[in-house]
Amino acid sequence: MQPSVAMREYLAEIYRLQEDSPTVSTTSLAERLDVSAPAVPRMLKRLKSVGYVKHVPYQGVELTPLGRQEALRELRRHRVLEVFLVNIMNFSWDEAHEHADDLGKGLNDQLTARMAEMTNFPTRCPHGEPIPDEEGNLPTINDICLFNLGVGQRGRISRVRTHEPDKLQYIGSLGLVPQAAFEIVGRAPFNGPMRLRVGRDEVILGIELVKLLWVTQE
C-alpha cells in the first residue's frame, strides 16, 4: 500500500530521530510532530501493521528496511522542495522547512523530479542535509560535530542541524552556513562558549549552538 501523508510524515521524523538514537520514543515523536501523546501509539500501530516499523520492548520503535525506504523517499521530496523554495522562489533558509512541510503534503515523485531538474539535481538541502537520490541512496558524508574539535582546528560547515527559524536566522547572520570556512581560535573550559574566525570576523557561540553545527575538517 502507498503510505498516507500522515504516515509519510511519521516515517520521515522517525528517520531523523534515529540519526541520533537507534530507537525512537513516543514522547520524542509527539514533541517533534506537535501531536498529542495518545495519537502517536495509534499511528505506530498502523505503521507496524503494514511493516514500516517494529517495536523494541522498553526502548521504542525503529524503522524496518521497508519503512526506511519510504522515509528516504519522503526526505527526498522534502529536501528537494526546500532547495526549490530557496533557489527558485527566493525564500530564506529559515523559512524553507515550514513551507516544505505544508507544500510537501501534495508532492509526488514526478513533481519532485521536475524540481530537482530545475535546481540542477542538488545533493544537499539548504541546511546541508543529504538528499537521497531517486533510488533512495544517500550521498556519503563524513562530518563531525563542531563540539568535538579544539582550538587551532579548521574546517568547513557541513550541516546546520536545526529547523528552528530564530536559530537559523542567528547562525546565518554569523555567516556559519554550509561550505563556510572557519577556524577555532578560542574555547572556554567546562562546556563554555567557543570563539571562531569566519572570514575576517570573529564570532562567539554558546554550547547549544555549537552542537547544531556539523563540519568537515581541513
Query: Does residue 19 lie in a domain region?
Result: yes
Report the pLDDT averaged over residues 151-156: 97
- How many distinct structural domains can be found in the chain? 3
In the prediction, which pLDDT does 176 show? 97
In a domain, 51, yes or no: yes
Residue 133 CA, chain-centre distance (Å), reads 16
pLDDT band at 10, cuts 50/70/90? very high
Pair 15, 55 in one domain: yes
Pair 59, 85 in one domain:
no
DSSP 214: E
The answer to whether residue 42 sits within a structural domain is yes
The pTM score is 0.91
Given a contact cutoff of 8 angstroms between Cβ atoms, the answer to whether 157 and 215 are in contact is yes
pLDDT at residue 84, rounded to an integer: 98
Out of 63, 86, 112, a domain closes at 63
Distance CA 66, CA 63 (A): 8
Q: Say whether 99 sits in a helix, a strand or coil.
A: helix
Mean pLDDT of the region 136-141: 90
Average pLDDT over residues 147-172: 96
- Which pLDDT value is given to residue 181? 97
Of 63, 94, 112, the residue that ends a domain is: 63
> 130 and 104, same structural domain?
yes
Residues 21 and 48 both lie in one domain? yes
Residue 62: beta bridge partners?
54
Q: What is the CATH number of the domain that holds 126?
A: 1.10.10.10
Q: Are residues 151 and 209 in the same domain?
A: yes
Q: Is the pLDDT of residue 58 over 90?
A: no
Average pLDDT, rounded, for the chain: 94
Q: How confident is the model at residue 55 (pLDDT cuts 50, 70, 90)?
A: confident
Give the pLDDT confidence score for residue 46 in this predicted structure.
94
Binned at pLDDT 50, 70 and 90, residue 57 comes out as: confident
Range with the poorest average pLDDT among 59-63, 64-68, 168-172, 177-181: 59-63
Are 39 and 96 members of one domain?
no
The answer to whether residues 93 and 115 belong to one domain is yes
Q: Quote the domain boundaries for residue 189.
A: 144-217
- pLDDT at res. 78: 96
Is there a single domain that holds both residue 132 and residue 185? Answer: no
Residue 199 belongs to some domain of the structure: yes
Average the pLDDT over each of 74-83, 99-108, 128-137, 159-168 and give the range with the smallest value.
99-108
φ/ψ of 24, rounded to 5, equals -120, 130
Q: Please state, in angstroms and rounded to a whole number, the distance separating the CA atoms of residues 11 and 14.
A: 5
* Residue 62 phi, psi (nearest 5): -145, 160
Q: Cα(107)–Cα(99) distance, rounded to whole angstroms?
A: 12
In a domain, 189, yes or no: yes
pLDDT at 158 over 80: yes
**Mean of pLDDT values over 51-77:** 93
What is the per-residue pLDDT for 140?
87
Which of 116, 139, 162 corresponds to the end of one domain? Answer: 139
pLDDT at 1 over 80: no
Residue pLDDT, tens place only, 68-88: 999 999 999 999 999 999 999
Instruction: Answer yes or no: is 69 within a domain.
Output: no
Which residues are CB-contacts of 166 (< 8 A; sequence separation ≥ 6)? Answer: 94
Q: Please report where in the chains the cell 525506504 appears, as a residue.
A: 69
Q: How confident is the model at residue 37 (pLDDT cuts 50, 70, 90)?
A: confident
